[in-house]
Amino acid sequence: MAKIAAEVRRTAVARLEQLRTDGVLTAGHVRTVAQSAGVSERTVWRWLLPPAARPVRQPRPRYALSETDREAFAYYRGNIAALHRARQAVLDGDGTTAGAPVPLFLAEGWAGARSVTLRTLQRAFGQELTPAEQAAWRAGESGRQAAAVHLRRPDALRGRCWEMDHKQLPLVVLPPKGKAISPWLTTVVDDGTRALLGWAIAVTPTSGTVFTAMRMAMLHEPEVSPFGAVPERVRIDRGLEFAADDVEAALGTLAVVMHRLPPFQPHRKGKVERLNLTIEQTLISQLPGFTGGPRDASGKLYGPVKDSVAAKQAAEGHSDGPMRIERFVDRFAAWARWYNTERPHRMLAGRIPLQAWTDDVAPLRRIGADQLRHLMLAAADRTIQKDGISFRSLTYVAPELYGRGGQRVQIRYMPHDDRSIEVYIGTKHLCTAYPTGQLTPEQTDAFRAHARAEADRLGRERRRATRRARRELAPMTGDGTPPAESRLVAASDGCALTQYDRDRALAAKASTSLLGLTDPTAAPEA
**279 CA to centre of own chain:** 13
Annotate 160-171 with DSSP letters as a single string: TEEEEEEEE-SB
Q: Give how far Cα 441 sits from Cα of 125, 387, 436, 438, 444, Å.
A: 79, 18, 11, 10, 5
91 exposure class (CB count in 10 Å sphere: 0-12, 13-18, 19+): middle
What is residue 315's predicted lDDT score, i.e. its pLDDT? Answer: 53
What is residue 313's predicted lDDT score, i.e. its pLDDT? Answer: 56
pTM of the model: 0.62
Q: Using H for helix, E for strand and C for coil, what is the string for 478-523?
A: CCCCCCCCCCCCECCCCCECCHHHHHHHHHHHHCECCCCCECCCCC
What is residue 462's predicted lDDT score, i.e. its pLDDT? Answer: 83
Q: Give how far Cα 497 sits from Cα of 491, 492, 506, Å.
A: 6, 10, 12
Backbone angles phi, psi at 319, to 5 degrees: -70, -25
**What gap in Å lies between CA 178 and CA 302, rounded to an integer?**
24
> Are 87 and 72 a contacting pair, CB within 8 Å?
yes
Sequence-distant contacts of 9-18: CB under 8 A, at least 24 apart: 9/37, 9/47, 12/36, 12/37, 12/44, 12/47, 13/47, 13/48, 16/44, 16/47, 16/48, 17/48
**What gap in Å lies between CA 324 and CA 28, rounded to an integer?**
72
Tell me the pLDDT tens digit for each residue of 75-133: 999 999 999 999 999 999 888 888 889 999 999 999 989 899 999 999 999 999 999 99
Tell me the pLDDT tens digit for each residue of 409-452: 988 877 667 788 888 888 788 888 889 877 888 888 888 888 88
Query: In 205-214, which positions are buried (b, 16+ CB within 10 angstroms) versus exposed (e)?
Result: bbbbbbbbbb
What is residue 237's predicted lDDT score, i.e. its pLDDT? Answer: 84
Adjacency order of strands within the sheet including 257-260? 196-202, 184-190, 161-168, 233-236, 257-260
- Beta strands per DSSP E along 224-298: 233-236, 257-260
What is residue 486's predicted lDDT score, i.e. its pLDDT? Answer: 45
Q: Which residues 6+ apart lie within 8 Å of 398 measured at CB?
A: 388, 423, 431, 432, 433, 434, 447
What is residue 444's predicted lDDT score, i.e. its pLDDT? Answer: 83
Which residue ranges of the chain lie beneath pLDDT 50?
A: 1, 477, 483-492, 511-518, 522-523, 525-526
Q: Give how far Cα 297 sits from Cα of 294, 300, 306, Å.
A: 10, 8, 14
